[in-house]
Every structure is written in structure tokens, then in C-alpha cells.
Amino acid sequence: LGTFIRTVYTFCGHFLLWNVRVKHSIELHFLLFVGVNFTGDWEVGLVNATTTYKSFSNSVVEADIGLNVGLQRINITLKGNPVHQINQTINYNEQFLWNFGEDANDYYNEGLKSGLPNPILYISEKFFQHNPCALYTQYRLYGHYASACMWVAFCSWIICNILFSMSVFIYGAYMILVTASFFIFSLLSFYTIKYVPLCDIKFGAESMTPTTEDHFGSLFQIYGCCCHTFSTCRLFSYNTIYEYFWMVCLTVSHKHKYIIYKCSEQCGMEHEP
């Protein structure tokens, strides 16, 4: 029976070694990297409207107008319905950056010079730095706080992996707790925008209201809760019989077998020397 238990413990140890130290780390790294650097759809707005196409022109078009707000930029789309109208192809996808070192005003001025359609300029003007709506200040400020919290979570995740590789499980659990906390802080930093009155974006009788995308919020909340649960279980198991079970995660050679024997002794089972 003792040999069977030791075999099961060894198998579970290798299974947890892959799940906790490899799979968990890869998923968290991917989530942080994508969430900080590439996503631009933390808030999304879409409206179908009939609006003027160019300044100083009476031409009107029917188009789908979209707005994607990210932590470091906004993305505005304009697609005609149908695409070919007034002898032109109406299909635009414009990006306006406001991360560190970038000035959204410069992108707006370049859009004016290049003659972008009115709907794109109208929305981008709402996010202009000196616009009375103050959308630029709200989204840029909260986006920077959310991004900063994610980068702190990224750093704590690296420290967590280093501690786990050194078999310092208790401090690794603390760092997982820190990682989860900053995950949740980043969500709170961005979603406080919803409690601030925002300007309306109107196209005639139609109004565009950016809504929060649930998939990233839910994903971050679930992962943050999982990190909290894992770290809490790890802290409660410290200095108990489960401590030896967690140490089996690093049993990769015969020189570590005394850890399994120690676990068997704590369970009151006989074992072979």
C-alpha cells in the first residue's frame, strides 16, 4: 500500500508540476501580453446612421460607424452600407494613439489634412485633448492606471516563477496573490469610467454609446479569482502534511525520494527504507 501511495504521489506531483509551473505560467503570460499590448476593444460602440460624408458637401451616406477604445488608443471604423456610394468606396479604419510618447492631437490634425470623412473626424474630436467633453483625459488617465497595474502584475508573475523554481513555495504563493490583486486593480481602474458622465456621440437621431466588453472583464476576474484561490490554498497548507505533497512537484530524480518517505510517515504508513 505504501508503494502504491508513493507512486500516486509521484504521478500527481509531476501532473501539478506541469499544470502549476508551466501551463499556469504560459496562460498568464499570454493574457498579460495580449491584454496590455494588442487589445483595443475594452469598450465598443457601433451605430448605423445616415450622415454627411465630407465637409462643405451636401452628400450623405448610410454607413456603419464603429468605435473601439483600448488602454492606449482608439480605433474608428466607417463602412458604407453598401460599401460603394457616391462613386467612392467607403471603408475606413483609422487609429489614434495616446500612449506615452504619442500625442492624439497630432493624429487628429493629420486626419484633417488628409481629408478624412466627417464621422471619423467628429468622433476623434470628442477625444481631442482640449475638447470640453474631456473624454481624452478620462480614458487616457484610467487606461494608463490600468496598464500600469497590469505591468506590475507581469513583474510579480516573473518573481513568482523564480520563487517556484527555487522551491520557495510560500513566497511564490504570496506573489501569486499580488498578481491577482493587481489584475483586479487594473479592472477597477478602467471600469470607473462608467461612473463618470460622458458626452453623447450623436449622428442625427442616432446615438452611439460605448459599452464595456464583457469577455476581457470576465476573463480577468475569473483568472484573478483562480490566482487568489490557488494562493490561499497554498498558504493554508503551509507547514502541514500537504506541504510535503506540494514539494513532490519538484521530485524529478531519485535524490528527492526522502520527501515522499516523509509524507508517508506523516500519514502513519509503513515504507521501505
* CA dist., res. 126 & res. 96, Å (int): 12
The grid cell for 122 is 467628429
pLDDT of residue 36: 62
CB neighbours of 75 closer than 8 A, spacing ≥ 6? 40, 66, 67, 68, 93, 94, 95, 96
pLDDT of residue 196: 67
pLDDT of residue 189: 76
pLDDT of residue 224: 60
Peptide bond before residue 82 is cis, with ω within 30 degrees of 0: yes
Burial of 21 (C-beta count, 10 Å sphere; 0-12/13-18/19+): middle
- At residue 6, does pLDDT exceed 70? no
Phi, psi of 63 (to 5 degrees): -150, 160
The grid cell for 247 is 514539494
The grid cell for 161 is 516563477
Q: What is the pLDDT of residues 48-106, one digit of tens each?
A: 888 888 877 788 888 899 988 888 788 899 998 888 888 888 899 988 887 665 666 77
Higher pLDDT, 61 or 166: 61
pLDDT of residue 97: 80
pLDDT of residue 273: 43
pTM of the model: 0.67
pLDDT of residue 32: 63
pLDDT of residue 28: 63
* CA dist., res. 164 & res. 65, Å (int): 48
pLDDT of residue 255: 44
* CA dist., res. 198 & res. 196, Å (int): 6
pLDDT of residue 229: 63
Instruction: Label residues 203-240 b or e (16+ Cβ within 10 Å = b).
Output: beeeebebeeeeebeeebeebbeebbebbeebeebeee
Name the average pLDDT for the chain.
71
CB neighbours of 57 closer than 8 A, spacing ≥ 6? none
The grid cell for 62 is 448610410
Percent of the chain with pLDDT over 90: 1
The CB-side HSE value for 194 (13 A sphere, CA atoms) comes to: 12
Comparing CA positions, the residue from 213, 229, 215, 147 lying closest to residue 182 is: 147
Beta carbons within 10 angstroms of residue 250's beta carbon? 19
Q: What is the pLDDT of residues 209-259, one digit of tens each?
A: 776 655 555 555 566 666 656 656 555 555 544 444 455 454 444 444 444
Phi, psi of 58 (to 5 degrees): -90, 0
